[in-house]
Structure 1
């Protein structure tokens, strides 16, 4: 704890004049102001709140002043709480973080107190320190244990080759099923600090079963509202796709390896004379290679995030209306979010947490 009254009269007057001097560098004047407030008996926490800083920064300024007076305050090579640790301590901290991947600043602060004997009173000081050390708080990406980079690369190459050689009388679509539940999805939003926000919730017992497809070139969609997603709904979707392109000689449909997509009933339908559909299956465990998955995310952002529909009928109309009407009509707005900009996900590129 820093006790007030540590300045003599002359030093106090010098700092007051420096704080009031409009020609002084703003950062230096603010540091002088902080020292005057501390000398008046205000705590580091209160001074930090007044100056919109963190309390560890105030303590550092106090230490700099004790060591080198005004020259210390003018040394802007020191920033925040990072300077409270020596270079060796910082390296040890970086190694410990890299080895343990702590989940909170509380864990980091506890380690610093235990190993270095330095107490960080505020979370903001720790966050600033971690950023200066090249650390950031991140959420692990969920990846399948069975991802095959070679199969992904082969699929992407085959897809790009197909597009590069696609005749004018052929089309490409991505197909999949989605099952949105009648429920609001709460997401973060900006709001006045003193206004609590909430969303009303529904039972979440009803859901839609949508079997759909999208053409990334035009934004055209076919979205079937079905009782069950199965082989029959797959055939219904393929028939709807053919009806969408009566003048096309061939429609290439990319889809995942769901069992109903491989069903004998589907194979028998495809084998009939005159069928213009050719199926291309995405590698297993690779939803990132199915562009329509990005459409489902877009759908939720526009229809279920922070939006509550009192009746299932309203929910259904909003979902299907967005997919059937809004997306094709406003494709110029959405085409950069629903793309075939595919990439390979290799587990070897990640540090997989145990």
Structure 2
């Protein structure tokens, strides 16, 4: 047990000045504070709880102070450790990591041990990766198939279409969507101890919408079929025609879905007075959908 009152008045004034000083480092001021509290009669356990430390640390500080004085205890001797890998090895490791996606440090640590003969713990490997500029994150999802050539061809076609568009013509983008109605609780600020609740739906209510959009005037005709199919596609084309009685030609751009080129759509387009001109996107380009 450490007895109180072991500090002389001059020693106590010196430590109090350190605690109140704005120039003293945080760690140094904490040590001075701990020695003062010990001198006040507080236990190592109580001080450790107050400073969020362990009591052995407080005892170690007291021992250093009694044996070597404040000058020894006030020195912050912590220094960063030297990397166990050379600069060339770290460069080689970075190149290896850039060429693959490692989901854990197990593979990385095994590679370091095999190639460089250096063994890292899990935490040590995490620090190494952070110092080398790597972070643990989820990759961004990209479309399954991406075709830069088809994108460029579509953009060129679309620009030529707009540049040559007559006053009696219009352009619509069309597609089908299937939103679902479902309650999804989310995080928010509530009173501590309360137990908020939200009523959930009994099932997943799905809505089918087959719609189109004119980017010039933002006209958005749509139908709500029970099932999205060739019938709903023909109904949508009929609605687009009905909303544009003054247009001689209406260009409709939509994807290559089977119901967009089935018998119902072909029958609709075969009418003598049909004013719809379909432009179907090439297959395997889902990222070009309107």
- With the length of structure 2 as denominator, give the TM-score of the two structures: 0.63
* 1:236-262 deviation per Cα after TM superposition (whole angstroms, max 9, x unaligned): 101111122222222211111111110
* 1:118-177 deviation per Cα after TM superposition (whole angstroms, max 9, x unaligned): 5638xxx948953861545133424325x4332222112111221233233322211111
Indicate whether 1:141 and 2:144 are aligned: no
The residue that corresponds to 1:264 in the other structure is 263
Q: Which one has more relative contact order, counting CA pairs under 8 Å at least 6 apart?
A: 1
Q: 1:103 to 1:210 in 2, by over 3 A?
A: same
Structure 2: any 5+ residue segments left out of the alignment? 1-12, 36-43, 54-71
Structure 2 CA distance for aligned equivalents of residues 36 and 116 of structure 1: 39
Q: 1:20 to 1:266 in 2, by over 3 A?
A: same
- Judge conservation of contact 2:210–2:232 (CA < 8 Å) in 1: yes
Q: 1:131 to 1:119 in 2, by over 3 A?
A: closer
Q: 1:37 to 1:181 in 2, by over 3 A?
A: farther
Alpha-carbon distance, 1:275 to partner: 1.8
The residue that corresponds to 2:207 in the other structure is 208
Indicate whether 1:117 and 2:120 are aligned: yes
Structure 2 CA distance for aligned equivalents of residues 218 and 210 of structure 1: 20
Residues 65-84 of structure 1 aligned to structure 2 (within 5 Å): 69=75
The residue that corresponds to 2:231 in the other structure is 232
Q: 1:33 to 1:202 in 2, by over 3 A?
A: farther
* 2:157 counterpart SS class: helix
Residues 242-257 of structure 1 aligned to structure 2 (within 5 Å): 242-257=241-256
The residue that corresponds to 2:286 in the other structure is 287
Residues 1-354 of structure 1 aligned to structure 2 (within 5 Å): 20-22=20-22, 24=23, 29-30=25-26, 32-33=28-29, 46=52, 69=75, 88=87, 90-91=90-91, 94-95=94-95, 97-103=97-103, 107=106, 115-118=118-121, 120=123, 126=126, 130=130, 133-135=133-135, 137-145=137-145, 147-185=146-184, 189=187, 191=189, 200-291=199-290
Alpha-carbon distance, 1:21 to partner: 3.3
Q: 1:99 to 1:235 in 2, by over 3 A?
A: same
Judging by fraction of residues, say which structure has more helix.
1
Structure 2 CA distance for aligned equivalents of residues 131 and 279 of structure 1: 56
Choose 261-270 or 13-22, whichever is displaced more: 13-22
RMSD: 4.7
* 1:133 counterpart SS class: coil
Structure 1: any 5+ residue segments left out of the alignment? 1-12, 48-65, 292-354
Structure 1 CA distance for aligned equivalents of residues 277 and 165 of structure 2: 13
Q: 1:269 to 1:112 in 2, by over 3 A?
A: closer
* 2:153 counterpart SS class: helix
Number of equivalences: 246
